[in-house]
Structure 1
Amino acid sequence: MKTIRLLTFDLDNTLWNNNPVIVRAEHILYQWLEKNCERLTKRFSPQDLIEHRMQLLEKHPELIAQISEARKRSLHYSLLQAGYSTESAHDASNRAFAIFLEARNRVELFGGVRDELLSLKQDFTIGALTNGNVELHKTDAADLFDFHVSAEDVNERKPGKAQFQFALTSVNAAPWQCIHIGDHPLDDIRGAASLGINTIWFNMTGEEWNTEKYGIKPQNCYTAANWKAIGKTIRLIAAQTADENINKND
């Protein structure tokens, strides 16, 4: 009897290394601004633009789950400060964001991701849950998922419950019928475990669980250091859950 029905995966730093992706996208964005918004780049450095965005989020915490809108608004503000008209700033901020997003979508999957997900997809429904704004359908992972939900879609970041609840509802699954896999101890592991979802902490670096920072490690949390181990651990949990279900019915 198969009882695990749903697998949900974080994206950034779980399917790919996101840090170089963002650094490259920020660089491409600034290059575009240098060519198209010279007054802006003469006044503000790349770090200045990042600080403008952080200041905006401090002033408007409701935008924390709407990072695309926050980025566009902060660019608009910076353009106004550089002397552009409201109309010009609006147009340029939208064009600049499109440049950033196109670069942000160029991700490189970790080794083993494609093979493992294609294999798992034969037996489970697979969903993507993310606090980021990558356009999954424009990446090399587009064909690997049955559905995708972001913080922007539900207006709540993990570890909030909304993304996890959306995933469970989408396939009418109970929490114990789901495994969530992610790299972040709080956003992914504690967030999913708070609903009773099985978890796999993707821990490539072998770091110790920081109890002081993240609280007690959930009992139903497994750890995997690479994608081959993720696949094996998922099937182990699925087999154990099926055995427990059979024993209950004996």
Structure 2
Amino acid sequence: MIKAVFFDLDGTLIDDVEARKRAQFAVAKFMTERYGVRLHKAAELIAKIEEEMDMARRYRREDRWRALFERLGFIYDGEIGGLLTKIYFAELMEAMRPFKDARVLLSYLRGRVRLGIITDTDGEPGLKRERIKRSGLPLDLFDIVVVAGEDTADTKPSASPFSFAMAKLGLGPWQAVYVGDKAYADVPGAREAGMYTVIVHRGAHSEPKSPEQRPDLMLGSLAQLQFVLRWPERALR
């Protein structure tokens, strides 16, 4: 019997695609005004570095800004790097919104199962929790929030954040489902921890590239999960 559903945050519960573009553009605008680089060149480079670092699970903002400075041919300035982090996250927090299907599903799950969030760090201690507070999600519904890389030593796709969350709630893996949107990050660790795995198809990163990235179930929207949980023995494994 499924007793808990854990969710990824960005791309699963929170629509952050346009918000990240706005955050990247805000940083690019600063770099243009400060260093005279072309706006669109800076914006494209920031987006490329973000994708590379995300895939490599490297979340420290200093690493990203250092890479940006180096590729633009400038000497990295740590003080400016700190300012870029503030600019980026101020814009991101202002623009991010919960997906509509997330609101529908969470409303349905209220009181039926225990709920949790398992998400990776933003690279600065406490920053991800601040984003969660300002996300617009009904946080009173969640029994636990695990920020991997802060609450645990390892980030996803390690199994440790998933095992940590289940242990905190006193659950066995057969009682838990993990729902994410990125097959490479969200499936391997949850599967290794013994959870059922569900991917909501939000884009190219939702497609599995190897057998260990293949979820137990692929859905077109979060709202569909309520029907899965009514008859889990038919849908999950």
Tell me how far 1:180 sits from its aligned partner.
Answer: 0.5
Deviation, structure 1 residue 216 = 6.2
Task: Give the SS at the match of 1:45.
Answer: helix
Residues 1:67 and 2:67 aligned together:
no
Distance 1:184 1:103 in 2: 23
> What does the per-residue CA deviation read over 1:44-101, in whole Å, with 9 as the maximum and x for residues that have no partner?
833455667789x6xxx9x8343334335546x55996468xxxx3322212201101
Q: What TM-score comes out, normalization by structure 1 length?
A: 0.71
In structure 1, runs of 5+ residues without a counterpart are 242-250
Instruction: Report percent identity of matched pairs.
Output: 20
Match of 2:113 in 1: 124
Kindly state the Cα deviation for residue 232 of structure 1 after the two structures are TM-superposed. 1.8
Contact 1:53 1:70 in 2 (8 A): no
Contact 1:224 1:233 in 2 (8 A): no
1:27 maps to which of 25, 28, 41: 25
**Structure of greater Rg:** 1
Equivalent-residue separation in structure 2 for 1:73 and 1:231 (angstroms): 44
Q: Is the 8 A contact 2:121 2:148 kept in 1?
A: yes
Contact 1:65 1:152 survives alignment (8 Å): no
Selected match of 1:46 from 33, 43, 62 = 43
Alignment of 1:87-102 (within 5 A): 89-102=77-90
Q: Secondary structure at the match of 1:160?
A: coil
Amino acid at match of 2:149: E
Shift of 1:222: 2.3
Paired amino acid for 1:138: R
Q: Which runs of 5+ in 2 are unaligned?
A: 123-127
SS in structure 2 opposite 1:179? strand
Secondary structure of the structure 1 residue equivalent to 2:97: coil
Larger mean Cα displacement after TM superposition, 227-236 or 150-159: 150-159
CA contact (8 A) 1:159 1:188 kept: yes
Tell me which residue corresponds to 1:152: 149
TM-score (norm 2): 0.75
- Once the two structures are superposed, residues 78-125 of structure 1 have per-residue CA deviations (whole angstroms, 9 ceiling, x without a partner) of 5996468xxxx3322212201101222231222221132133131222
Aligned equivalents of 1:150, 1:208: Cα separation in 2: 21
Residue matched to 1:229: 224
* Count of aligned residue pairs for this structure pair: 222
Change in CA separation of 1:52 and 1:66 when aligned onto 2, cut-off 3 Å = closer
- Specify the alignment match of 1:247 in structure 2: none
Displacement of 1:11: 1.7
The answer to whether the 8 Å contact 2:98/2:135 transfers is: no
Identify the match of residue 100 of structure 2 among 90, 99, 111: 111
Between 155-164 and 45-54, the greater mean CA deviation after superposition: 45-54
RMSD (Å) for aligned C-alpha atoms: 3.7
Deviation of 1:29 after TM superposition, in Å, equals: 1.7
Aligned to 2:199: 201
